[in-house]
Amino acid sequence: MNDSSRSLVANCPGCDLPVIADEAVHVVFSEGPQGPDWRFSLLTCRECTHPMVIYSENSDDLTEGFIDPHWLYPLGEDEYQVDSIPGELRREINEGKRCFVHGLYTASVVMAGRTLEGLALLHGVREKTLVKSLERLRESGILDGRLVDWAAQLRVMRNEAAHFQGTHVSRQDAADVLALTEAILDYVYVFTKRFEEFTRRRQTDKKSQRSEGAKNEQ
């Protein structure tokens, strides 16, 4: 442990507001010569001193602050909160994220697979296998080709995680699976909707402009 300390902005469970949280104490733990050093930190709210606990990759450069912090308490800091995503899918992916925070990487990949299965079911796709469901989503235009390729890789990882094969799911693989799953959800429920709204707005504006032009010519 060294004397350097860090701060970050966090939602304090005591104040129920974004605050500055200061590091009170930390411990650096190494996963071994092949892994990074992790900094486990106890933070306190600058306003009410409520405690918070995170871990992140350690850096000797204080200007970098905390590198991609993961919240151990309160857990809600790491959760995926996008209102346009159906609640049942948010619950699945957030359970996967909680598993990840606690180092249960295999379980987090399984939950990502469940999220994709739920995505298919909510779009009326009920094939016997996830790969067939993903192909149906492609055919119906819900997913494009690149996203289906991503999802197919996630399916492979999910199958490896769901069945005992004597293999180990690494932290990085689990992080990538969760990130790609979130990207797929964002594409289906956030960006596609935003693009459709943008297209409708543009069409309405063009009709309005043509109408105004016709009136001016009269």
CATH code of the domain in which 104 resides = 1.20.120.330
In the numeric block, which tokens belong to residue 78?
Answer: 């790491």
User: Is residue 66 very low, low, confident or very high in pLDDT (cuts 50, 70, 90)?
Assistant: confident
Say whether pLDDT at 92 is over 60. Answer: yes
**pLDDT score of 22:** 94
- CA dihedral angle for residue 181, residue 184, residue 185, residue 187, rounded to 10 degrees: 160
Going from the C-alpha of 130 to that of each of 4, 118, 201, the distances in angstroms are 49, 10, 36
Which of 78, 109, 131 terminates a domain? The answer is 78
* Angle made by CA atoms 9, 12, 13, in degrees to the nearest 5: 155
Residue 202 lies in a domain: no
Same-domain check for residues 53 and 95: no
Query: What is the C-alpha to C-alpha distance for residues 53 and 3, in angstroms, rounded to an integer?
Result: 18
Same-domain check for residues 164 and 101: yes
Give the strands of the sheet with 17-30, arranged side by side. Answer: 7-12, 17-30, 37-45, 51-57, 67-73
The amino acid present at 137, given as its one-letter code, is: L
pLDDT in tens, 6-56: 898 888 888 888 889 999 999 998 877 776 788 999 999 999 999 999 988
Per the model's pLDDT, the better-predicted residue between 111 and 196 turns out to be: 111
Taking all residues of the chain, what is their mean pLDDT, rounded to a whole number? Answer: 81
Number of H helices, E strands in the chain: 6, 5
Residue 41: in which H helix or E strand, if any? strand 37-45
Kindly state the DSSP code that residue 123 receives in the 8-state scheme.
T
User: Domain total for the chain?
Assistant: 2
Same-domain check for residues 154 and 108: yes
What's the distance, CA 45 to chain centroid? 25
Query: What is the C-alpha to C-alpha distance for residues 77 and 21, in angstroms, rounded to an integer?
Result: 13
Say whether pLDDT at 208 is over 50. Answer: yes
Contact predicate 148/137, CB 8 Å: yes
Domain range enclosing 160: 87-191
Query: Among all chains, which residue has been given the structure tokens 């690149």?
Result: 146
Same-domain check for residues 91 and 187: yes
Same-domain check for residues 58 and 95: no
Residue 57: in which H helix or E strand, if any? strand 51-57
**pLDDT score of 111:** 92
Say whether pLDDT at 1 is over 50. Answer: no
Beta carbons within 10 angstroms of residue 200's beta carbon = 10
Same-domain check for residues 35 and 129: no
Contact predicate 29/103, CB 8 Å: no
% of the chain at pLDDT higher than 90 = 18
Residue 147 lies in a domain: yes
Same-domain check for residues 69 and 92: no
What is the rounded average pLDDT of the residues 181-189? 88
Note if the pTM is more than 0.75. Answer: no
- CA dihedral angle for residue 96, residue 100, residue 105, residue 109, rounded to 10 degrees: 20
